[in-house]
Amino acid sequence: MKLTCAIIDDEPLAVELMKGYVRKTPFLELCGAFGSGTEAFGTLREHPVELLFCDIQMPGLNGMELTRMLPAETRVIFTTAFDSYAVEGFRVRAIDYLLKPISYADFLAATQKALEWFEIKRRAEAAGRGDRLAVTPDDGHGTAPRRSELRSIFVKTEYRLQQIPLDGILYIEGLKDYVKIHLEGEPRPVLSLMSLKSLEEQLPADRFIRVHRSYIVQPAKIRTIERNRIVFGREYIPVSESYRQAFHDFLARHSLLPQGE
């Protein structure tokens, strides 16, 4: 599997460095290198690439502005000297970001992450997208149980449907076009090409709750809440302000909370 890619940076030495890294990486195919966002815009709109290595701070059209205008199929790895841009970068289809000066080891790790993302996407599409949403077996009488009665869901992962018991789900993380379902006692999450919203619509509302634009949790599995963050082992799930009241109301309905909490 190869990924088509392009490079944009207003520093000629940075462009040459990235060209060298691309040539050393067998699963990358370089389709263009540009010295500015303005120069690249027309070409990348007419001939989209799968992966774009893009500097952020550029005169004229900067990296953030450019990536918002590119076709949806293009994913971005930002190259920047300013790590404060990282959080905003993930809002514009950025798979990762690289801090300058960029080593080949860091470059390779980021591109392998991109390769994994595209492999998941292609496998799910090849297997057929019609049945990739969460489904559940019927009750033996030809009727599907109500959401509140569900015990498991099926999700499309790789080339198969995998059954996931609801009791085993800790939390679900949404990453643009796919989700990571984190399971109790499992070291690796289940990846599935679907949106967090579509999965949320399948889950029982009395057992799962959205706490952030990118996270759904199962409150019955929560052991610790610390400063508006839910703790699952070493992972901290933020409870965003827009979901905070609904989350506290949910906890109040399903548990005993001290007054004033």
| Average of per-residue pLDDT values in the chain | 83
Do the Cβ atoms of 18 and 41 come closer than 8 Å? no
The pLDDT value recorded for residue 77 is: 93
**18 to each of 104, 159, 247, how far by Cα in Å?**
9, 34, 45
Query: What domain range is 248 assigned to?
Result: 147-254
Residue 131 backbone dihedrals phi, psi, to 5 degrees: -115, 25
Would residue 197 count as lying in a domain? yes
Give the total number of structural domains in the chain.
2
The pLDDT value recorded for residue 257 is: 55
- Token digits of residue 85: 């841009």
Residue 260, pLDDT above cutoff 60: no
Pair (117, 218) in one structural domain = no
Which pTM does this prediction carry? 0.55
CATH value at residue 118? 3.40.50.2300
The pLDDT value recorded for residue 255 is: 65
Would residue 136 count as lying in a domain? no
Model confidence band, residue 130 (pLDDT cutoffs 50, 70, 90): very low
Would residue 73 count as lying in a domain? yes
Do the Cβ atoms of 190 and 155 come closer than 8 Å? yes
More confident call, 155 vs 46: 46
Average pLDDT value for residue range 132-136:
41
Pair (114, 15) in one structural domain = yes
pLDDT 10s digits, 198-239: 888 888 888 999 999 999 999 999 989 988 899 998 889 999
The pLDDT value recorded for residue 137 is: 42
The pLDDT value recorded for residue 144 is: 45
What is 2-19 written as a DSSP string?
Answer: -EEEEEE-S-HHHHHHHH
pLDDT 10s digits, 11-54: 999 999 999 999 999 999 999 999 999 999 999 999 999 999 99
The pLDDT value recorded for residue 143 is: 43
